[in-house]
Amino acid sequence: MHDIRAIRENPAAFDAAMARRGVENASSEILKIDEARRAAIHAAETAQADQKKAAKEVGAAKAKGDEAEFERLRALVAEKKSEVAAMQDKAKELDKALEDALMGIPNLPFDDVPDGADEDDNVEVRRWGTPGEFSFAPKEHYDLAGVIPGMDFEVAAKLSGSRFVVLRGAVARIHRALAQFMLDTHVEENGLTEAWTPVLVKEDMMYGTGQLPKFGEDSYQTTNGWWLVPTAEVPLTNFVNGETVDEASLPHRYAAHTQCFRSEAGSAGRDTSGMLRQHQFEKVEMVSITHPDASRAELDRMTDCAQGILEKLGLPYRTVVLCTGDMGFGARRTHDIEVWLPGQNTYREISSVSVCGDFQARRMNARFKAPGGKPEFVHTLNGSGLAVGRTLIAVLENGQQEDGSVVLPEVLHPYLRGKTTLTAEGTLV
């Protein structure tokens, strides 16, 4: 959420930044609501002062025995009391209208974010590894002989419908090993604190991180009002919801492995084959809560953490900076990491790391305070470290052999009790 004072003081700068995100004249309606709100507050305060003044004069008139003046003033007090209540209600309505308007506007992009309309305008900033050369036509993950016994879309469709999968046997074990490897790396090497969180959260937690009110259709809500998390970003970031933490405790760095749930509204026909785009999937999510002065550097640090997982797995990738038209609602700058998938002969997103500045912190009222200082809003960041299912796809496709078996990355061997290969029959050896 934005600071109304900053918009009020420099609407031209705000509008220019929002125009880069395709939102024209963003300040106009907001400032109209703000002006009406401030007028209502002033009117309520003026009426309240008149009420207090008349109330004092009532006693004086009574003491003087001036019955007519007493009755007049008493009627005035009652009138002003009603007027104050009406003005306060109006101010509250306009305050809510202003909050709703501010919550519906995306974050301001950093100056160094490239301008653009969509993913075609993203800018590549790093490339690691060389896509492997195959002496045969590489297949997509779901067509590999060794994968077919352990990746069942038909049973999943019977259980739950389209865009679900059942993993069995060796494939399920590799999937689990990947998640454990990611968590161990982030905790032991990257200095993140592991957390285990609920996947059902209250509605105000979804408002805090920006999934609501604008993107409610992208998530699932239960009949009693809970929301299934689209990512562990929601519970992890909301650890500081309503809190004022000590400046010395920053940064707070977390990693959590959770189930994630997304309705994928509006994505019909996109990436529906295999495991690439599912309603239920797993991610190891990273979240950092930082001092404002440290958040930009933290973005690069978190990007390195995600890239490091792919490098340990030996998976070629590229990193791009998202342009203004492709960046997420709450981000000020986003680095997407795209892994090479030989079955599709292209790079596909496997991690998105974003710095949000104080955008989420204002929604959550999350602050820090130095001794003797005033409370200030923290900065928040989030990123995948990594999407487990998509990493599984990349491991299977990049390690595939002509017979349909898969040579597995060396770093996974200890998590598979020394097993190194998924055979063409679907077993681990």
CB-count exposure of residue 345 (10 Å: 0-12, 13-18, 19+): exposed
From the candidates 79, 99, 349, 376, which is the catalytic residue?
Answer: 349
Give ∠ CA 248-306-126 in degrees, rounded to 5: 115
Q: Is 382 annotated as a binding residue?
A: yes
Catalytic residue flag (residue 352): yes
Which H or E element spans position 19? Answer: helix 11-19
Paired residues of 289 in beta bridges: 252, 380
Q: Is 298 annotated as a binding residue?
A: no
Letter string b/e over residues 122-132, b meaning 16 or more CB atoms within 10 A of that residue's CB: beeeeeebeee
Catalytic residue flag (residue 390): yes
From the candidates 38, 72, 127, 277, which is the catalytic residue?
Answer: 277
- Find out whether the peptide bond into 213 is cis, omega within 30 degrees of 0: yes
List all residues 6 or more positions away from 253 whose beta carbon is below 8 Å from its beta carbon: 190, 191, 192, 193, 286, 287, 288, 289
From the candidates 21, 332, 333, 390, which is the catalytic residue?
Answer: 390
One DSSP character per residue, 207-259 reads HHHT-TTTTGGGSEE-TTS-EE-SSTHHHHHGGGTT-EEEGGGPPEEEEEEEE
From the candidates 173, 262, 301, 333, which is the catalytic residue?
Answer: 262
Q: Is 349 annotated as a binding residue?
A: yes
Residue at 117: amino acid letter: A
Q: Is 285 annotated as a binding residue?
A: yes
Q: Is 384 annotated as a binding residue?
A: yes
Q: Is 262 annotated as a binding residue?
A: yes
Q: What are phi and psi of 96, to 5 degrees?
A: -65, -40
Cα–Cα distance for residue pair 324/233, rounded to 1 Å: 22
Catalytic residue flag (residue 176): no
- Find out whether the peptide bond into 198 is cis, omega within 30 degrees of 0: no
From the candidates 27, 219, 352, 405, which is the catalytic residue?
Answer: 352
CA separation, residue 79 to residues 42, 52, 83, 404, 414 (Å): 17, 12, 6, 84, 79
Q: Is 354 annotated as a binding residue?
A: no
Catalytic residue flag (residue 349): yes
Paired residues of 220 in beta bridges: 228
Q: Is 402 annotated as a binding residue?
A: no
Torsion of CA 98, 102, 105, 107, to 10 degrees: 160
Q: Is 264 annotated as a binding residue?
A: yes
Q: Is 188 annotated as a binding residue?
A: no
Q: Is 231 annotated as a binding residue?
A: yes
Specify the 3-state DSSP secondary structure of 340: strand
- Residues tagged active-site: 262, 277, 349, 352, 390
Binding-site positions for L-serine read 231-233, 262, 285, 382, 384
Binding-site positions for ATP read 262-264, 349-352
Binding-site positions read 231-233, 262-264, 285, 349-352, 382, 384
